[in-house]
Structure 1
C-alpha cells in the first residue's frame, strides 16, 4: 500500500482517479480548498495551495509516496509546491495538457507536407517565456508550460508531467461543454464553424486519463509523457460521428483567417504521438471505440 496525495481531484476524471487509487487499497488523501468532500474512506486536507504558509500548516509532518497534482496552472503554484513538497514525497505527477504544444507557436503546414504527430521533444519548456497571442486559452497554455519548467529545472523530487489530450466523455461530468457543442449544433441543424483545411487532433476518454495518471504514479520514469488514445480525428471526422448518434447530417461554415472556429478545429497539425507511454507499458484504447458512447452520453445529458 502506498500513500498518495491528490491535489484537486474533486471533479471529472480527478474523482475517478481518487476512487481507483482508493479501490486498489492505497491510502489516499485529497487536498483542496474545502469546496467538496472526497469519497468515503479518503483523507481530506483543506488549504489554498497558493498560500504557502497555510499549505505547510495543513500538511503538518505528513509525507507521501506520490503526489498527483491535478490543479497546477501557473509557475507560481509550481514554485510553492516545489518548495513545500521537497523532502515530503518520492514522486510528483503533474496533470499537464496537450495545449502546451500551442498551435499558434507551431509551424504552419506546407501544402502537401507530411504531418508528424507531436512527441514530448517537440516542446522545450525552458524556451517558453511569453504568452503567444492573448486570451484565456493562451494564458492557460503558457501557465502550464512555465509550471512544467519550474519542476523540471533542478528537480526537488522525481517528476512527471502528463500532457493530456482533449478529454471527452462523462456526460454532465464534462464541465467543458465542448462535445455538447457539437451535439447541440448538429442536432439543431446549425453549422459547425471550421477552418478551410482542418487538421487532426488527439483525444482521450475521461476514464482512460484517470487510469494513466494512476499508472504513472506507480512507475519510475520521469519527464513529460503524452497521453492520447490511438487515432486522431479532425473536426469533420468528429462531426460525422456525432451525426451518426443524433440522426442528422452535419453542416459546415468555413471561418476566415484568424477567426474563431468550433472547438477542436485547428489550421495546423495538432495531434500527439503516444509512443513513449505505450513503450513504457500503458495500453491505450482507440478513439473510435469509445467516442460513440461518449457522444450518446452528451446527447442524453
Structure 2
C-alpha cells in the first residue's frame, strides 16, 4: 500500500502515541506496527483482558463511560497522536476531548462506512458531521445497526466541532483477514461446505471491504500525515452477496443453499437491508493503493477451505 503524498517531519515518525483500545483485530496490528517503528506506545483499556505486548507498552486503565477515569488516566500525559479504537458514543467522545485538552496534537478516530445511508459508492462529502444534530446518550442506548450508525455519526460530530486537535475520521468498510475474530466471511465458506442454508433476503446488495493488514497500515500512515478530515479507505471494487457466494462455490466446488428467510443462526452476517459500499478515490488521490478485492477474497476463501480440509 502507498503512503500519503505529504508527510510530517519529512517522514520522521512522531514519537509518543496513545491507543484507546488496540487489543483486538486490526487494532492489535496497529500497535505492533507502531512498536515496530520505534514509537513510544501507551494503550488505554479497561484492563479486563490480557494483551500480547508485554513490557513494550505503557498501560492506562480507563472506563470510557466514566469521565473521571479518563481525566485521571490522562492527567500527566502528552501525545503526538491518539488512535481511538473504542469510542461508542458521543458522550464518550466529548469526555475524551475534555480529558485530552492540551495533551494531544492529532486524533485518528476509527469510524465506519455506516455513517452513510444504505447505497453504493458513497463519498466523504455525503455525510458532513459538522451539520449532524443529535442527543447525548450512553453506549447502551444505541441499539442495533441504527444505534451504531447514530453513535458513530454523533461521535464524529463531537470530535470535529469540540476538540482542540487535528482530527481524522477513518470510515472503514467491512474488515476481513485471517485474524478476523468475527468469522463473518468464514461463516459463508462453512455454510457452503456443509450444504447448510444461508439466509440472504437481498442477494444483489453490494459491500465494500478492506484487508485487516491494510487497515492497520492505513491508520499508521494517516496518523503520521498532514491530512485531516474524513476519509474512506479500502478496496476500489465492491461485490454483491450473490457474487461473493458464487465465488465461494467456484473455489470449493460445491453449491450454496441460499434461501430468502432462514433462522438467525443461518442468516448471513452481511445481510443488511441495503447495499453498504464506499468510494475510495480520495484515498487513492492521496497516494494510497489497496489490494484487489477479488484477489484477497480468493485467498481468504482458500484459507478457510484448507482449514476445513485439515479437520
TM-score greater than 0.5 by the shorter chain: yes
1:48-197, aligned counterparts within 5 Å?
48-103=63-118, 117-125=121-129, 126-129=131-134, 135-170=143-178, 173-196=179-202
> Where does residue 110 of structure 1 map in the other structure?
none
Residue among 214, 218, 235 paired with 2:241: 235
Contact 2:207 2:240 in 1 (8 A): yes
Q: TM-score, normalised by structure 1?
A: 0.86
Contact 2:176 2:210 in 1 (8 A): yes
Shift in Å at residue 48 of structure 1? 1.5
1:229–1:128 CA distance, 2 compared to 1 (3 A): farther
Taking the aligned partners of 1:215 and 1:182, their CA distance within structure 2 comes to: 32
Shift in Å at residue 79 of structure 1? 0.5
Query: Does the residue aligned with 1:65 lie in a helix, a strand or coil?
Result: strand
195-204 vs 138-147, which deviates more? 195-204
Q: Does 1:43 align with 2:58?
A: yes
Query: Does the residue aligned with 1:62 lie in a helix, a strand or coil?
Result: coil
Taking the aligned partners of 2:189 and 2:203, their CA distance within structure 1 comes to: 22
Shift in Å at residue 124 of structure 1? 2.7
1:200-226 deviation line (CA, Å, top 9, x unaligned): 110011111111111111111111101
Shift in Å at residue 162 of structure 1? 0.4
230-239 vs 195-204, which deviates more? 195-204
1:103-147 deviation line (CA, Å, top 9, x unaligned): 2xx6xxxxxxxxx6100111133335389xx94222111111111
Q: TM-score, normalised by structure 2?
A: 0.84
Contact 1:198 1:267 in 2 (8 A): no
25-34 vs 159-168, which deviates more? 25-34
1:175–1:137 CA distance, 2 compared to 1 (3 A): farther
> Where does residue 7 of structure 2 map in the other structure?
none
Taking the aligned partners of 2:152 and 2:274, their CA distance within structure 1 comes to: 21
> Where does residue 256 of structure 2 map in the other structure?
250
Aligned residue pair count: 283
Taking the aligned partners of 2:244 and 2:234, their CA distance within structure 1 comes to: 16
Contact 1:163 1:226 in 2 (8 A): yes
Shift in Å at residue 150 of structure 1? 0.7
Contact 1:198 1:266 in 2 (8 A): no
Query: Does the residue aligned with 1:204 lie in a helix, a strand or coil?
Result: strand
Shift in Å at residue 269 of structure 1? 4.1
Contact 1:22 1:28 in 2 (8 A): yes
Taking the aligned partners of 2:257 and 2:277, their CA distance within structure 1 comes to: 24
Taking the aligned partners of 1:196 and 1:39, their CA distance within structure 2 comes to: 42
Query: Does the residue aligned with 1:44 lie in a helix, a strand or coil?
Result: strand
Query: Does the residue aligned with 1:278 lie in a helix, a strand or coil?
Result: helix
